[in-house]
Amino acid sequence: MIRLTTVGGLWLTVGVDLPINPPVEPMLAKAVAKLPTDPGLTYEPKWDGFRCVVFRDGDEVELASRGGKTMTRYFPEVVEQALRQLPERCAVDGELIVIRRDGPDGQPRLDFELLAQRIHPAASRVKLLAETNPADFVAFDLLALGDELLTGQPYPQRRARLEQALAGVQPPVHVTPVTTDPETARRWFDIFEGAGLDGLIVKPADLPYEPGKRSMFKVKHARTADVVVAGFRWHKTGPVVGSLLLGLYDEAGVLHHIGVSSSFTAARRKELLDELAPYREDVGAEHPWVHGDHERGQRIPGGVSRWTGTKNLEWEPLRPDLVVEVAYDAMEGDRLRHTARFVRWRPDRDPRSCGYDQLDRPVRYDVDQVLRGDPAATVTDPA
């Protein structure tokens, strides 16, 4: 058997011999504004985790991420479950998630931040986190089974084979729930966000598995907020703006770092540097993020990227007098779950008025109910 060798997380050789082997770029989805309702579509929850294709060949298991990197060493407990519960020879597309069960309201929900902490260079830390923050695996497609390659089959056939092959799995391995009913899908879209999910994935009936292609559809929540720009980071290419550091005030008047906005063209990055120049002046030690208010749990910028361990996250403070409107999809606790999109400056807004109270908070929902395919989450025919 050929052993796995990696350099910088990339495969040079593989330890499995299946009809399809790593690295494989998973099939992707393109964003649409409205939920499609064409005949024959299948809807499933969009899990907010790490995309992962699990390859098992006997005693060999590899966990492949989107982007052609291996995650096998970071999730030993998932490897163990794959050996226990997945077919002896298979390639299964799915998502790694971490469920937080000790939240302030006691409601189990996805926690992307805990999942992100699992990517750590130290083996001792990897082992500890596998015990304290174990990951679940949610399967949603079957690429190969035994010596049979399934990528050319239509999605409904692959789904049927997936359900059959994984019929006996138990948590922390799951098969994602699906529906062909648009009304049930709309209800899922509304309520599953409260469990930490990310929206919906929509799959056409005749869809083969097309690695790397955006052949599916995704529908995500869209919101806007007015936030304070209290700093920025330089771009890796040179002296232009890389990202804006965003903040919101809590009820006690503490400014918390909630995330960043960073998707700018090269020309716009230069313009932003000029627009921010006045706010770089007269920034003193009293800036709310220079030292931080640890007693009140203030979130401030900083830290080292867990993905690279070397990414420069140093930042430049700005006078917190500038307000920007941003588009975002969801919050994870008191921070943005994903990068926000710049919409426009709001010179008419008082920065002190930019608080958490403006945010739309979804009703909490139990993620275990989602994983079980609980009937309470399904629209029933009143007839």
Q: Determine whether 220 is an active site residue.
A: no
Q: Does the CA dihedral 278-280-285-291 come out positive or negative?
A: positive
Residue 175 C-alpha from the chain's centroid: 18
In whole angstroms, give the CA distance from residue 21 to residue 68: 11
Helix (H, G, I), strand (E, B) or coil at 218: strand
Q: Does the CA dihedral 98-103-107-111 come out positive or negative?
A: negative
The 3-state DSSP composition of the chain as helix, strand, coil percent (nearest 5) reads 20, 35, 45
Q: Does the CA dihedral 290-291-295-301 come out positive or negative?
A: positive
Please count the helices (runs of H) and the strands (runs of E) in the chain: 7, 21
Choosing from 30, 46, 218, 311, which is the catalytic residue? Answer: 46
Give which of 187, 142, 238 is closest to 35, Cα–Cα.
187
Per-residue DSSP letter, 362: P
Q: What would the two tokens of residue 107 be?
A: 């409601």
Both ends of the chain: CA-CA distance in Å?
A: 58
Per-residue DSSP letter, 294: G
Helix (H, G, I), strand (E, B) or coil at 372: helix
Give which of 22, 15, 345, 32 is closest to 218, Cα–Cα.
32
Per-residue DSSP letter, 338: S
In whole angstroms, give the CA distance from residue 323 to residue 228: 5
Q: How many residues does the chain have?
A: 383
Give me the phi and psi of 218, to 5 degrees please.
-130, 140
Q: Point out the residues that are catalytic.
A: 46
